[in-house]
Structure 1
Amino acid sequence: MTHCVTIAGSDIAFDCADAESVLDAALRAGIELPYSCRKGVCGNCAGRVEAGEVEGLAGASMRNEACLPDQLLFCMCAPRTDLAIAPVSWRRVDPAARKRFQAKVFRNQLVAPDVSVLQLRLPAGQRAKFHAGQYLQVDVGNGTTRCYSMANAPHESDALTLHIRHVPDGAFSARVPGLQQGDLLDIELPFGAVTLDSASARPIVFVAGGTGFAPVKSLIDDMAKRRVVRPITLIWGARRAEGLYLRPAVARWQRQWPDFRFVAALSDGAAEEGDDAFAGRVDAALAAHCPDLAGHEVYACGSPAMVHAVREMAVGRCGLEAAGFHADLFVEGPAMQTTASGAPTPA
């Protein structure tokens, strides 16, 4: 059985099946709500149900700590009746924009003891359309996929760059060190809606943990290409300085924006000379270097625990408005698969 979902205050309506999440149904209909992980972790898709009844998808919780008291996670809500919803934002997208490619490994570089930068080339004459901050899925076989953020900016659309941390026994990451030039990978993109508001001029703080630097690099490179002028702070955390594996990119941004502020947050080790260094975690570095975040935007990219800590610090102690916090969580495990009808389902 299907139910009609409308967006309050608009003429938008789409069908949603009993066992389908509201988010998935919206995406299938070409309506993009804010989202990232699609697993009920990041909280980006939180919004209000104005009318109607919902239940947890497959019994899952419909709330997490990122939800305001009147919000539910649209990625975890399945309809029981017709609904009227009020997402934080929405936009029309072309459902056909998501494409599958067979990409070829062009370069595979070990840039830190546990991080590879993997550069992929698309077939001749083909280009990938995506927004800075979005991610792709790699088919790892057995009907499952893994998600990785694009680290390159959208204007570099004939190639894709991924930053991959080696996870012991990882379904894909464990294979990455052995990938050779010319090896083929089946990928699909784009996914995710952690993108910049191009109309905003508010100061922006990026907080990255480890390879959470990948979507941040895409976002900042895109800002550089478009010559965006706004105050920018980057807090990049790792255990030791070697974990900050792409320092030339930071130096390039500092040349373009003389006021660009970079903070190396190192929990176990010394910073390099010239760093605005902090000994400790990124959430503590945020409080120390950005104690007043009123009127700011914060983009946090990394593990769920890291993003949760940064959210608590930014909103709970530093005065950031909840709507100014944007999260891209790296959640290990299978991604969401897409059925033949185009509706994402749990892998």
Structure 2
Amino acid sequence: MNHRITIEGSDAAFDCGPAQSVLDAALRAGIELPYSCRKGVCGNCAGAVAEGEVAGLGGPIRNESCAPDQVLFCMCAPRGDLRIRPAAWHRVDPSARKRFTAKVFRNQLAAPDVSVLQLRLPAGQRARFQAGQYLQLALPDGSTRCYSMANPPHENDTLTLHVRHVPGGAFSARVPGLAPGDAIEVELPFGAVTLEADARRPIVFVVGGTGFAPARSILDDMARWRVERPITLIWGARRAEGIYLRPAIAKWQRQWPQGFRFVEALSGEAREGAFAGRVDAALRAHCPDLSGHELYCCGSPGMVQSVREAAVQALGLPAARFHADVFVNGPAAGAVPA
């Protein structure tokens, strides 16, 4: 039996099954709530239940990012009709998500454990997405993996992925052997960690490892449209070789000679000009007041949480201006068919 879910203060409503997450039901109905990981980690989908009750879907329905009256809409299902109060929402066209059979065009090793994989779409086909979104890649066993697009939206006949080699990874372990012409099934776009088009506040990107991928897509898109706002990029790695695309940084420094600041944070070695330590410590040192800023954080769950705590609890960033894209290993959860 389906339950009816309404969004407080609006005429928006949708049906949700008793074993379906509130987030998945909303997306299926063309109502996009904030989200990223869909696994109860990032906290982007946190919102309040103004009326009704929810039950968990095999995991906690709250995490550290939730306010006392909030739950994670990706991790809960309705026990009856609900009235919810999400942090934000807007209508989308469910048919905008497309599946493609892409082919490997180029496979380059950018760091000892990172491949830059460029996929070419079939002739005449284009992928529509926003900078910062991700795709789902289908594996032969039916499972899926998520990777952010590193290319900007105007380069829409290709898809560029940054893949860290995870020992035993169902896809990443295969990446070094992929050759031009190999076919890969993908579906996109997913995710709501995108840039606000009309925002003019100073913006800070804090990324770890291949969390650089969505930041690169956003920054290249900003460069294309000549967006002028103060930008700080803090990129963390254990060693200098983990900062694997320095030419892109040099390009942004030329584009914004006064407005772009790059901080290299190395936790495993000392290097002249680099910050010695983790990205959350680099954020505290270089951005002591974030009260008027916007922050985009991309990386592992632990890194994102430590940056969230530093930014919101210590540096004055309003919680609503912290945008997180959490990179979680393993199968993607809750795919929503187009």
Fold in common (TM above 0.5): yes
Equivalence for 2:35:
35
State the TM-score, normalizing by the size of structure 1: 0.95
Partner Cα separation in structure 2 for residue 16 and residue 224 of structure 1: 41
Q: How does 1:7-86 map to 2 (within 5 A)?
A: 7-58=7-58, 60-86=59-85
Partner Cα separation in structure 2 for residue 165 and residue 335 of structure 1: 16
Partner Cα separation in structure 2 for residue 223 and residue 67 of structure 1: 30
Equivalence for 1:314:
311
Q: Are 2:134 and 2:191, in contact at CA under 8 Å, matched by a contact in 1?
A: yes
Return the letter of the residue paired with 2:79.
R
Q: Are 2:38 and 2:334, in contact at CA under 8 Å, matched by a contact in 1?
A: no
| 1:57-109 C-alpha deviation (Å, 9 max, x unpaired) | 24x21100010111110001100111111111111111011111000000000
Equivalence for 1:139:
138
Post-superposition offset of 1:337: 5.1
When residues 337 and 292 of structure 1 are mapped into structure 2, their CA distance, relative to the original with a 3 A threshold, is closer
Equivalence for 2:189:
190
Partner Cα separation in structure 2 for residue 183 and residue 270 of structure 1: 40
Question: Identity across aligned pairs (percent)?
Answer: 74
Q: Secondary structure at the match of 2:210?
A: helix
Equivalence for 1:2:
2
Equivalence for 1:300:
297
Partner Cα separation in structure 2 for residue 141 and residue 329 of structure 1: 25
Post-superposition offset of 1:319: 1.0
5+ residue gaps, structure 1, are none
Post-superposition offset of 1:336: 2.3
Partner Cα separation in structure 1 for residue 192 and residue 320 of structure 2: 15
Equivalence for 1:235:
234
Return the letter of the residue paired with 1:210.
G
5+ residue gaps, structure 2, are none
Post-superposition offset of 1:271: 3.2
Return the letter of the residue paired with 1:271.
R
Partner Cα separation in structure 1 for residue 89 and residue 220 of structure 2: 25
Partner Cα separation in structure 1 for residue 260 and residue 288 of structure 2: 17
State the TM-score, normalizing by the size of structure 2: 0.98
| 1:41-63 C-alpha deviation (Å, 9 max, x unpaired) | 000000111111111124x2110
Partner Cα separation in structure 2 for residue 118 and residue 337 of structure 1: 25
Q: Secondary structure at the match of 2:42?
A: coil
Partner Cα separation in structure 2 for residue 162 and residue 293 of structure 1: 30
Matched, 1:285 2:252: no
Q: Secondary structure at the match of 1:336?
A: coil
Q: How many residues align?
A: 337
Partner Cα separation in structure 1 for residue 151 and residue 89 of structure 2: 25
Q: Are 1:264 and 1:271, in contact at CA under 8 Å, matched by a contact in 2?
A: no
Backbone CA RMSD of aligned residues: 1.1
